[in-house]
Amino acid sequence: MGERTAANWSADEITQLDDIIHAGLRQFYHPPPIGGGKLAHKWSFLEPTTTLTTVAATADYTLPASFGGMTGPLTYAAANNRWYPIEITSEHRIRMLRQRDFNVLNTFPLSAAVRARTSDGSDGQRFEILLWPTPDAAYTLSYRYHALQIKLSASNPYPLGGEPHAETILESCLAIAEQRLENQAGIHSQKFHERLAASVSHDRQQFTPEKMGYNSDKSDGNAPAENEYRRFFGTDVDYDGTIFYDTNP
């Protein structure tokens, strides 16, 4: 495809070019490990924060179509007046909690799990989140997630990441073209890995927090056991914003 005038390209060439650009972006958004590492880098700009508003007596919620994985716990809005975040656990753990004798308990959620929804392949993969206990009211929950991206188009022409990653994205697309059109990894594949290392370094420097928070050694006490949670959340009474506790459950 040596001709640079788009008006002279055939329909097949345009389709081929579109596929190469899409594959190049996927390779950049989900890069291979670098420097002999075992884990691939996760871009900070692909992990936005969004909210979910619960409905009383509803425990399961479909997540956005762009959802590609949860990052960290869910947190309550300040107006909800809840001290602790909702921890992410396994799907089977939620099912175990729901089957027990206190599965009718409705209060503010303490745990959550992400589960893939059944699909026949006619649409993209979708996920849902399961909450326990079942919410007893409307709560605003914030969470950070890995956002899957759609193809570039006339209406969304800009790849994510911004100017610092522009050359990395270009080399990723050229590397894909090199591999598909010439059936070999050449200079652009090498250049992509060089640029990828630079982009990863930039992302880490710009978005790695200076302080992760307090790392407790539990010397000042342990978290309540599950049976204490059962007693606490099963017998407390909330009246006009004040919580009264049953001391003889």
Summarised one tens digit per residue, pLDDT across range 177-223 is: 999 999 988 999 999 999 999 999 999 998 887 766 666 665 665 65
* Residue 103 reports pLDDT greater than 60: no
Asked whether residue 132 falls in the same domain as residue 172, the answer is no
**pTM score, whole prediction:** 0.77
* Residue 2 reports pLDDT greater than 80: no
Asked whether residue 31 falls in the same domain as residue 51, the answer is no
Considering its fold, how many domains does the chain have in total? 2
Q: Could you give the CA distance from residue 205 to residue 210 in angstroms, rounded to a whole number?
A: 10
Asked whether residue 165 falls in the same domain as residue 195, the answer is yes
pLDDT in tens, 54-78: 999 999 999 999 999 999 999 999 9
On whether the CB atoms of residues 196 and 31 are closer than 8 A, the answer is yes
What pLDDT score does 215 carry?
A: 65
On whether the CB atoms of residues 55 and 208 are closer than 8 A, the answer is no
Asked whether residue 85 falls in the same domain as residue 172, the answer is no
Asked whether residue 184 falls in the same domain as residue 141, the answer is no
Asked whether residue 136 falls in the same domain as residue 96, the answer is yes
* Residue 249 reports pLDDT greater than 50: no
In a domain, 154, yes or no: no
In a domain, 79, yes or no: yes
Asked whether residue 179 falls in the same domain as residue 134, the answer is no
What pLDDT score does 47 carry?
A: 95
Higher pLDDT: 54 or 103? It is: 54
Asked whether residue 49 falls in the same domain as residue 138, the answer is yes
Average pLDDT over residues 104-114: 87
Average pLDDT over residues 105-126: 90
Candidate from 11-20, 202-211, 233-242 with smallest mean pLDDT = 233-242
Give SS3 for 217.
Answer: coil
Asked whether residue 126 falls in the same domain as residue 34, the answer is no
In a domain, 85, yes or no: yes
Encoding tokens for residue 200?
């990863």
What pLDDT score does 247 carry?
A: 45
Q: Give the E-state strand segments of 9-126 in sequence order.
A: 49-53, 60-62, 67-76, 87-88, 106-107, 111-116
* Residue 100 reports pLDDT greater than 90: no
On whether the CB atoms of residues 112 and 74 are closer than 8 A, the answer is yes
What pLDDT score does 102 carry?
A: 57
What pLDDT score does 213 carry?
A: 66
- What DSSP letter does each residue of 140-195 carry, written as one string? EEEEEEEEP-PPP-SSS---TT-GGGHHHHHHHHHHHHHHHHHSS--HHHHHHHHH
Asked whether residue 69 falls in the same domain as residue 130, the answer is yes
What pLDDT score does 217 carry?
A: 64
What pLDDT score does 244 carry?
A: 53
DSSP conformation class of 118: P
Asked whether residue 166 falls in the same domain as residue 128, the answer is no
Domain hosting residue 132, numbered range: 44-147
Mean pLDDT of the chain: 86
